[in-house]
């Protein structure tokens, strides 16, 4: 089916060249409705499940069952507004904003590691803003800035992408600077995500695969070495290999995640009926929300939700396929890849398919500003969809 | 050049999309594995984590004596536990420093428990009401509701402490029987625990939703023993005294058994231990051993001594029975018809058997004697002659019939096997020495059981200690009927033996077992501990025993007393063990309502109540006394009124004694000092006492033809008493036996 779509795509691209020369002129079909609907469905389910998973923790920590959902709900509303605003801006605006935003991101990434300015929580200094009122992770902004910059470079130098100087060097520099700063926060998962998404954008953007695979091999080797030297991560690998070996500490989360998923069975215990959320699964509203989904909604519910994500990713790629220009296409690829990689990694972690890395599940995990940012990025994708061609 | 994505970009995008889709495959596969394939495994694990399974301990059944007097009971007590993960930092100090004092535990222990960081740690088990009140007050005062709580538990109590300790046994802290009946009937006594299953969160609090299951606990069944609390008490009292008096070094035991039903009425081993504190060693002999032990040995020695202390000697230890076994040799001979009561024997003091000379205990020999005297004198050559006539094969057949080759099957743990020669190893020498109970070993319970068959018309019954098992509502679950195992000897043989055994007590070596008014049969025993020589290689250790049957004409009970290694000059069973049986019988027979029968001789010496004659004229007083059959002498003139009398009116005096009447001015001495009578013969003592205006009364059989020594008197010498008081004296015959 995708093959077929691509064939159609190629035709529309040709048509598009003749009919519509302006980037700024909206497509008469408006935004992509399936993508918007999928987003909203996932968002609503995500909010409900986050509430279900987190209310015990909220009651225990803040003495208010609704603590998480109230905040998440407000940020979701803000996000939806941001999404519609973002969808109204033309892509040329985002292209102009690319480098300034990167500069701002780098500054914020520097600020956040300065004690006194960066806000520390759970042992990591990753946030800026006002404690307990509004905080955000600069890495979320940086992530978006990197997507814009990468897309911009690819669009500008598309023909020279095979060379090392244009196809590798600028990307490498941006990644080294940003990821270096993010690593200073010991934010391993964000680093991993940015590297993954950067890599995907470079591949799609036409970087010489031979050079890329060489660099990739070196990076992977470096990654392994880093994991070995930093107990923080290598312990996680040991735990992943045998979570029951150390049930009291590192293995605790993953064991309880497995208990939750496993006791869900085929049909689940029913919405709100999770038992593992009763403080057994410490991060139930956060990284391990999917475990509670599995426990309450069962295998059927979990697979349905995964299918919704698959559909969203697929629809995102359709938008990328139909993008009016290379910049828009690359931005959509970047944003959708972020969602895809994050979803896959998160679900893989909670099912103990890969070691624990602390990656949240888009639309589901608690994190207000991250959700707003995500919805804003969805808005950017929708903006691109305005300019795409509808077949028929 | 195209502005939109190029063909190459589209191709690469398509590959990336495919990779993304593919990535969902392993994840989905894992979901299938965890949620569908391993669902049961994880669900079980999750539920065990999420639920609190509280065990409701059932109440352990009671152990009653035969009259439903409780001997072992369970009571509800409280166990204190803490919830370490709920202990706030500021409460830690309080728990460690203060709370430990309330519940009497080490500070370091409490510290360890708090460090456990789970939701349930027991800190003190089975506290009683007073400590419970203190704990509750402490919790209230310091608001420790979040982390300290009490839960119900049951504890075993033994109301009489060391009473029947070897029979009852005790339980460990978890309520499982470790020794005695507690162990033997643990299954019946325990009951089935109930459970309360409730949901809890990771911090141990109840979850919001209902998830509770309750299974009621089934209380344990109770035992009704054949033991009679009163008989057990008498037995223990007298055995305890004997063990102390005779300086017994390897403990003594006693069994009282109903010969018709096999009911064990009492079973005691002394020194004993307190069932409420069974690990505490109190016996000074054992404590002395423990003190000498080095630090390394201490623990192992302590546990070895405890195990020794808990051994029920009457059942788990074997000994060489010695003379009491002669009864069976005689029984065999009569039953087989190889000897009759009219046969006569001659004891020259030894017998030559094969290449061995085997002596009688009386080395100068008993001379000529009949069958009955052979047993009454406990004569070894007679037994050897009899065993030779019986032959090894028949001998062993009877040994088996009397139950000496099997365990008796008494329902107590750890019954020992006897040690006997087999028919193959039974040479003439072995047969000869076996005939008087040496070189063989039996358990005390085996011996008394075999004796009851002699007492019970030849019927061997299985000894039993539990009469019935009843449930918590009092319904009978299981009852134990009398089980006759076999006829060992004919009724006639059994009756003949009973009368000979009575003569052992009245005329033979068992005189110290005699009690006035009762017909007692029995046999003494003094066996050498041949495998326990002293440093010079001499066999100096003895086991003194006596087995008694009463009433001898129709026995109801059998009493066995065994003292292992008495450390007094005369270690003979006739001297150290027989009186103990007499004392037990003297208490038990009236308790059982067995009537006394007095011989004419005895009736003469029975007490009479003295009439008050003061104020009477002498003639009238003398008429009264004649009516009552009391003789009197007069002080102060043969006329006038009686002004005083000895003894006083209303008191008792022996019927054959003489009263003193005082007339006119004659006055008796108001009080006299009791003289020292030790070592005197009966007539010497009587003369001495009447000189002082006191009367004599004796316990036991009186036989002036035998050498006897006065061993005790009551009141003691030097006591100031009223004139006319009766002084009770006790004689012991220095007889020997086999």
Give pLDDT tens digits for A175-187: 889 988 888 887 8
Q: What is the mean pLDDT of residues B379-390?
A: 92
β-partners of residue B486 are: B460
Chain B nearest C-alpha distance from A322 (Å): 8
Q: What is the mean pLDDT of residues A76-100?
A: 93
pLDDT of B467 strictly over 90? yes
* Residues of chain B with C-beta less than 8 angstroms from the C-beta of A16: 4
CA nearest neighbour of A137 among A129, A147, A149: A129
B664 versus B376: the higher-pLDDT residue is B376
Residues 348-367 of A with CB under 8 A from B: 348, 351-353
Q: Is B151 exposed, middle or buried (0-12, 13-18, 19+ CB in 10 A)?
A: middle
CA nearest neighbour of B516 among B546, B550, B555: B550
Among A36-40, A135-139, B151-155, B732-736, which stretch is predicted with the lowest mean pLDDT? B732-736
Facing A17 at nearest CB: one of B2, B12, B200? B2
Last residue of a domain, one of B548, B568, B597: B597
**CA–CA dist B405, B497 (Å, integer):** 22
Mean pLDDT for chain B overall? 85
pLDDT of A218 strictly over 70? yes
> Within B313-443, where are the H helices?
313-316, 326-336, 371-376, 380-390, 392-401, 428-434
- Do B493 and B346 lie in one domain? The reply is yes
- Do B588 and B611 lie in one domain? The reply is no
- Do B566 and B589 lie in one domain? The reply is yes
Could you tell me the two tokens for B677?
């009578």
C-beta atoms of B12 and A206 within 8 A: yes
Looking at chain A, the whole-number percentage of residues with pLDDT higher than 90 is 43
Looking at chain B, the whole-number percentage of residues with pLDDT higher than 70 is 94
- Do B483 and B614 lie in one domain? The reply is no
* Residues of chain B with C-beta less than 8 angstroms from the C-beta of A385: none
- Tell me what pLDDT residue A341 has: 95
Q: What is the mean pLDDT of residues B560-576?
A: 87
pLDDT of A89 strictly over 80? yes
Say if residues B316 and B307 touch (Cβ distance below 8 Å). Answer: no
CA nearest neighbour of B485 among B383, B374, B400: B400
Closest-CA residue of chain A to B10: A321
CA nearest neighbour of B274 among B166, B201, B382, B119: B166
Q: How confident is the model at residue A14 (pLDDT cuts 50, 70, 90)?
A: very low
Say if residues A117 and A126 touch (Cβ distance below 8 Å). Answer: no
- Tell me what pLDDT residue A8 has: 45
CA nearest neighbour of B374 among B337, B342, B404, B336: B342
pLDDT of A27 strictly over 60? no
A209 Cβ contact partners less than 8 Å away, ≥ 6 residues apart: A203
Highest mean pLDDT: which of A248-252, B255-259, B582-586? Answer: B255-259
Chain A nearest C-alpha distance from B268 (Å): 54
Among A4-13, A190-199, B488-497, which stretch is predicted with the lowest mean pLDDT? A4-13
C-beta atoms of B14 and A279 within 8 A: no
Could you tell me the two tokens for B551?
């009433």
pLDDT of B211 strictly over 70? no
- Do B511 and B412 lie in one domain? The reply is yes
H or E segment and range at residue A261: helix A250-264
Q: How confident is the model at residue B617 (pLDDT cuts 50, 70, 90)?
A: confident
Q: Over the range A356-390, which residues count as b (16 or more CB within 10 Å of their CB) and which as e?
A: bbbbbbbbbbbbbbbbbbbbbbbbbbbbbbbbbbe
Among A274-283, A324-333, B203-212, which stretch is predicted with the lowest mean pLDDT? B203-212
Among A225-229, B249-253, B345-349, B642-646, which stretch is predicted with the lowest mean pLDDT? A225-229
Q: What is the pLDDT of residues B83-96, one digit of tens each?
A: 887 788 888 888 88
pLDDT of B81 strictly over 90? no
Residue A234's CB is within 10 A of a number of other CB atoms, namely 15
B491 versus B656: the higher-pLDDT residue is B491
Chain A nearest C-alpha distance from B34 (Å): 5
- Do the bridges between strand B252-258 and strand B658-663 make them parallel or antiparallel, or are there none, so unpaired? unpaired
Of the listed B57, B74, B222, B323, which one is catalytic? B323
C-beta atoms of A294 and B35 within 8 A: yes
pLDDT of B240 strictly over 50? yes
Measured at the alpha carbon of residue B496, what is the angle toward residues B707 and B455, in degrees to the nearest 5?
90
- Do B578 and B620 lie in one domain? The reply is no
- Tell me what pLDDT residue B547 has: 93
Highest mean pLDDT: which of B284-288, B292-296, B379-383? Answer: B379-383
Number of domains in chain B: 3
Q: What is the CATH number of the domain that holds B620?
A: 3.30.10.20
Could you tell me the two tokens for A182?
């993010």
Residue B247's CB is within 10 A of a number of other CB atoms, namely 13
- Do B650 and B546 lie in one domain? The reply is no
* Residues of chain B with C-beta less than 8 angstroms from the C-beta of A310: 21, 24
Residues 154-193 of B with CB under 8 A from A: none
* Residues of chain A with C-beta less than 8 angstroms from the C-beta of B201: 56, 278-280
What φ, ψ does residue A316 adopt, rounded to 5°? Answer: -60, -45
pTM above 0.80, yes or no: no
Q: How confident is the model at residue B191 (pLDDT cuts 50, 70, 90)?
A: confident
Q: What is the DSSP letter of B150?
A: E
- Tell me what pLDDT residue B18 has: 95
- Tell me what pLDDT residue A99 has: 94
Q: Which domain holds residue B157?
A: 58-189+217-225
pLDDT of A228 strictly over 70? no
* Residues of chain B with C-beta less than 8 angstroms from the C-beta of A159: 1
- Tell me what pLDDT residue B451 has: 92
Residues 178-207 of A with CB under 8 A from B: 200, 203-206
Q: What is the mean pLDDT of residues B574-579?
A: 87
- Do B385 and B458 lie in one domain? The reply is yes
pLDDT of A357 strictly over 70? yes
- Tell me what pLDDT residue A2 has: 43
pLDDT of B367 strictly over 80? yes
**CA–CA dist B181, B165 (Å, integer):** 10
Chain A nearest C-alpha distance from B136 (Å): 28
Complex ipTM > 0.90: no
pLDDT of B118 strictly over 50? yes
Measured at the alpha carbon of residue B521, what is the angle toward residues B516 and B526, in degrees to the nearest 5?
110
* Residues of chain A with C-beta less than 8 angstroms from the C-beta of B18: 2
- Do B571 and B621 lie in one domain? The reply is no
Say if residues B340 and B549 touch (Cβ distance below 8 Å). Answer: no
* Helices A326-350 and A91-112: angle between axes, nearest 10 degrees: 50
Facing A204 at nearest CB: one of B16, B50, B199? B16
**CB proximity B197 to A under 8 Å:** no
Q: What is the pLDDT of residues B32-41, one digit of tens each?
A: 999 999 998 8
* Residues of chain A with C-beta less than 8 angstroms from the C-beta of B28: 303, 306
Q: What is the CATH number of the domain that holds B166?
A: 3.90.1310.10
Residue A50, Cα to own-chain centre: how many angstroms? 17
Q: How confident is the model at residue A390 (pLDDT cuts 50, 70, 90)?
A: very low
β-partners of residue A125 are: A120
First to last CA, chain A: 16
CA nearest neighbour of B34 among A340, A283, A350, A272: A350
First to last CA, chain B: 132
Q: How confident is the model at residue B474 (pLDDT cuts 50, 70, 90)?
A: confident
Q: What is the DSSP letter of B611?
A: P
Residue A211's CB is within 10 A of a number of other CB atoms, namely 15
- Tell me what pLDDT residue A243 has: 65
Chain B nearest C-alpha distance from A298 (Å): 7
**CB proximity B146 to A under 8 Å:** no
C-beta atoms of A261 and B5 within 8 A: no
C-beta atoms of A306 and B47 within 8 A: no
Q: How confident is the model at residue B737 (pLDDT cuts 50, 70, 90)?
A: low
Q: What is the pLDDT of residues B417-455, one digit of tens each?
A: 999 988 888 889 999 999 998 889 999 999 999 999 999
Mean pLDDT for chain A overall? 84
Could you tell me the two tokens for B236?
């223990």
**CA–CA dist A150, A165 (Å, integer):** 14
**CB proximity A299 to B under 8 Å:** yes
Looking at chain B, the whole-number percentage of residues with pLDDT higher than 90 is 35
- Tell me what pLDDT residue B204 has: 66
Residue A307's CB is within 10 A of a number of other CB atoms, namely 12
C-beta atoms of A17 and B13 within 8 A: no
Residues 242-261 of A with CB under 8 A from B: 256, 258-261
C-alpha distances in angstroms, B683 versus B11, B507, B716?
A: 136, 20, 19
B53 domain residue, yes or no: no
Q: How confident is the model at residue A343 (pLDDT cuts 50, 70, 90)?
A: very high
- Tell me what pLDDT residue A334 has: 96
- Tell me what pLDDT residue A11 has: 44
B5 Cβ contact partners less than 8 Å away, ≥ 6 residues apart: A13, A320, A321, A323, A326, A329, B13
- Tell me what pLDDT residue B720 has: 81
Q: What is the mean pLDDT of residues A213-219?
A: 83
Closest-CA residue of chain B to A298: B35
pLDDT of B559 strictly over 50? yes
**CB proximity B115 to A under 8 Å:** no
Residue B671 falls in the annotated catalytic set = no
A286 versus A24: the higher-pLDDT residue is A286
- Do B613 and B575 lie in one domain? The reply is no
Say if residues B392 and B429 touch (Cβ distance below 8 Å). Answer: no
Q: Is the dihedral of CA B330, B334, B337, B340 positive or negative?
A: positive
- Tell me what pLDDT residue A29 has: 60
H or E segment and range at residue A182: helix A169-184
What φ, ψ does residue B445 adopt, rounded to 5°? Answer: -70, -35
- Tell me what pLDDT residue A45 has: 96
pLDDT of B400 strictly over 80? yes
Among A32-41, B46-55, B69-78, which stretch is predicted with the lowest mean pLDDT? B46-55
B330 domain residue, yes or no: yes
Q: What is the mean pLDDT of residues B133-137?
A: 89
- Do B344 and B481 lie in one domain? The reply is yes
B710 versus B191: the higher-pLDDT residue is B191
Chain B nearest C-alpha distance from A108 (Å): 32
**CA–CA dist A314, B24 (Å, integer):** 13
Q: How confident is the model at residue A147 (pLDDT cuts 50, 70, 90)?
A: very high
Could you tell me the two tokens for A137?
């992770």
Q: How confident is the model at residue A24 (pLDDT cuts 50, 70, 90)?
A: very low
What residues does each domain of chain A span? 34-386
């Amino acid at each position: 089916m995708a093959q077929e779509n691509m064939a159609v795509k190629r035709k529309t691209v040709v048509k598009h060249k003749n009919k519509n020369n302006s980037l700024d002129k909206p497509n008469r079909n408006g935004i992509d409705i399936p993508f918007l609907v999928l987003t909203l469905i996932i968002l609503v389910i995500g909010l409900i499940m986050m509430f279900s998973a987190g209310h015990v923790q909220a009651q225990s920590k803040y003495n208010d069952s609704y603590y998480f959902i109230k905040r998440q709900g407000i940020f979701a509303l803000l996000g939806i507004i941001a999404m519609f605003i973002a969808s109204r801006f033309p892509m040329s605006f985002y292209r102009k904003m690319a480098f300034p935003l990167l500069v701002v991101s780098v500054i914020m990434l520097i600020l956040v590691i300065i004690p006194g300015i960066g806000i520390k929580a759970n042992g990591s200094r990753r946030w800026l803003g006002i404690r307990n009122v509004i905080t955000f992770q600069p890495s979320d902004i940086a992530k978006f800035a990197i997507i814009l910059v990468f897309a911009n470079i690819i669009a500008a130098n598309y023909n020279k992408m095979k060379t090392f100087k244009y196809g590798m060097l600028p990307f490498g520099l941006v990644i080294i600077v940003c990821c270096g700063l993010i690593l200073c926060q010991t934010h391993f998962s964000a680093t991993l995500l940015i590297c993954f998404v950067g890599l995907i954008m470079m591949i799609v953007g036409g970087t010489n695969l031979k050079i890329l695979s060489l660099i990739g091999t070196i990076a992977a080797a470096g990654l392994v070495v880093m994991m070995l030297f930093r107990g923080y991560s290598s312990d996680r690998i040991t735990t992943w290999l045998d979570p029951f070996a150390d049930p009291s500490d590192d293995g605790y989360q993953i064991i309880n995640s497995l208990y939750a998923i496993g006791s869900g069975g085929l049909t689940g215990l029913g919405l709100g009926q999770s038992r593992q959320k009763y403080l057994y699964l410490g991060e139930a509203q956060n990284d391990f929300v999917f475990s509670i989904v599995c426990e309450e909604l069962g295998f059927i519910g979990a697979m349905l939700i995964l299918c919704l994500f698959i559909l969203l990713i697929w629809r995102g790629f359709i938008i990328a396929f139909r993008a009016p220009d290379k910049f828009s296409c690359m931005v959509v690829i970047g944003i959708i890849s972020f969602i895809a990689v994050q979803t896959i990694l998160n679900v893989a972690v909670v099912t103990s398919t890969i070691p624990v890395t602390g990656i949240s599940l888009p639309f589901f995990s608690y994190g207000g500003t991250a959700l707003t940012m995500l919805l804003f990025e969805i808005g950017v994708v929708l903006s691109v969809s305005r300019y795409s061609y509808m077949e028929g | 050049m195209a502005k939109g994505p190029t063909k190459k970009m589209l191709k690469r995008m398509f590959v990336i999309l495919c990779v993304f889709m593919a990535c969902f495959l392993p994840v989905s596969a894992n979901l299938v594995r965890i949620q569908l394939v391993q669902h049961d495994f994880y669900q079980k694990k999750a539920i065990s984590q999420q639920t609190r399974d509280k065990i409701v301990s059932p109440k352990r059944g009671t152990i009653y004596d035969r009259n439903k007097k409780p001997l072992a009971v369970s009571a509800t007590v409280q166990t204190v536990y803490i919830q370490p993960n709920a202990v706030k930092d500021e409460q830690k100090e309080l728990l460690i420093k203060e709370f430990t004092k309330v519940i009497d535990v080490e500070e370091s222990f409490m510290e360890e428990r708090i460090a456990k960081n789970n939701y349930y740690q027991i800190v003190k088990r089975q506290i009683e009401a007073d400590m419970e009140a203190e704990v509750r007050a402490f919790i209230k005062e310091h608001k420790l509701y979040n982390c300290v709580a009490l839960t119900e538990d049951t504890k075993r109590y033994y109301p009489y402490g060391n009473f029947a300790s070897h029979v009852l046994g005790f339980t460990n802290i978890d309520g499982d029987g470790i020794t005695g009946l507690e162990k033997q009937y643990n299954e019946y006594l325990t009951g089935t625990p109930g459970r309360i299953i409730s949901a809890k969160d990771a911090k141990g609090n109840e979850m919001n939703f209902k998830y509770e299951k309750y299974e009621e606990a089934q209380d344990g069944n109770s035992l009704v023993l054949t033991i009679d609390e009163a008989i057990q008490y008498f037995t223990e009292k007298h055995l305890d005294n004997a063990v102390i008096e005779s300086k017994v070094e390897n403990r003594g035991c006693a069994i009282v058994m109903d010969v018709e039903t096999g009911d064990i009425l009492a079973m005691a081993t002394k020194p004993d231990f307190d069932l409420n504190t069974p690990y505490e060693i109190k016996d000074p002999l054992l404590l002395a051993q423990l003190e000498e032990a080095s630090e390394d040995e201490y623990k192992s020695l302590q546990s070895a001594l405890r195990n020794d202390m808990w051994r029920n000697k009457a059942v788990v230890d074997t000994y060489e029975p010695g003379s009491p076994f002669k009864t069976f040799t005689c029984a065999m001979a009569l039953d087989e018809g190889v000897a009759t009561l009219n046969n006569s024997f001659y004891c020259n003091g030894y017998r030559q058997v094969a290449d061995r000379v085997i002596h009688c205990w009386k080395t100068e020999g008993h001379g000529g004697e009949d069958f009955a005297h052979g047993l009454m004198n406990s004569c070894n050559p007679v037994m050897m002659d009899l065993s030779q006539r019986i032959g090894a094969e028949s001998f062993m057949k009877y040994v088996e019939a009397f139950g000496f080759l099997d365990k008796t099957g008494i329902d107590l743990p750890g019954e020992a096997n006897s040690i006997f020669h087999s028919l193959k190893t039974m040479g003439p020498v072995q047969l000869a020495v076996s005939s008087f109970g040496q070189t063989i070993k039996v358990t005390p319970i085996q011996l008394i059981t075999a004796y009851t068959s002699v007492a019970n018309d030849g019927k061997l019954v299985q000894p039993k200690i539990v009469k019935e098992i009843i449930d918590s509502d009092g319904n009978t679950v299981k009852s134990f009927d009398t089980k006759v195992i076999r006829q060992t000897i004919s009724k006639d043989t059994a009756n003949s033996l009973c009368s000979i055994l009575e003569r052992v007590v009245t005329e033979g070596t068992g005189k110290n077992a005699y009690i006035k008014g009762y017909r007692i049969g029995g046999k003494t025993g003094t066996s050498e501990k041949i495998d326990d020589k002293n440093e010079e290689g001499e066999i100096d250790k003895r086991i003194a025993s006596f087995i008694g049957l009463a009433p001898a004409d129709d026995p109801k009970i059998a009493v066995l007393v065994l003292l292992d290694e008495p450390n007094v000059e005369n270690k003979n069973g006739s001297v150290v063990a027989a009186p103990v049986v007499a004392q037990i019988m003297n208490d038990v027979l009236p308790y059982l309502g067995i009537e006394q029968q007095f011989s004419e001789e005895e009736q003469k010496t029975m007490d009479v109540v003295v009439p008050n004659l003061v104020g009477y004229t002498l003639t009238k007083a003398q008429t009264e006394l004649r009516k009552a059959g009391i003789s009197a002498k007069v002080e102060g003139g043969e006329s006038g009124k009686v002004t005083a009398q000895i003894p006083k009116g209303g008191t008792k005096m022996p019927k054959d004694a003489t009263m003193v009447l005082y007339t006119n001015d004659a006055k008796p001495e108001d009080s006299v000092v009791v003289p020292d009578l030790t070592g005197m013969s009966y007539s010497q003592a009587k003369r001495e006492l009447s000189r002082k205006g006191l009367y004599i009364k004796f316990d036991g059989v009186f036989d002036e033809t035998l050498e006897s020594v006065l061993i005790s008197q009551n009141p003691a010498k030097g006591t100031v008493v009223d004139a006319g008081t009766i002084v009770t004296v006790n004689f012991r015959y220095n007889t020997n036996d086999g």
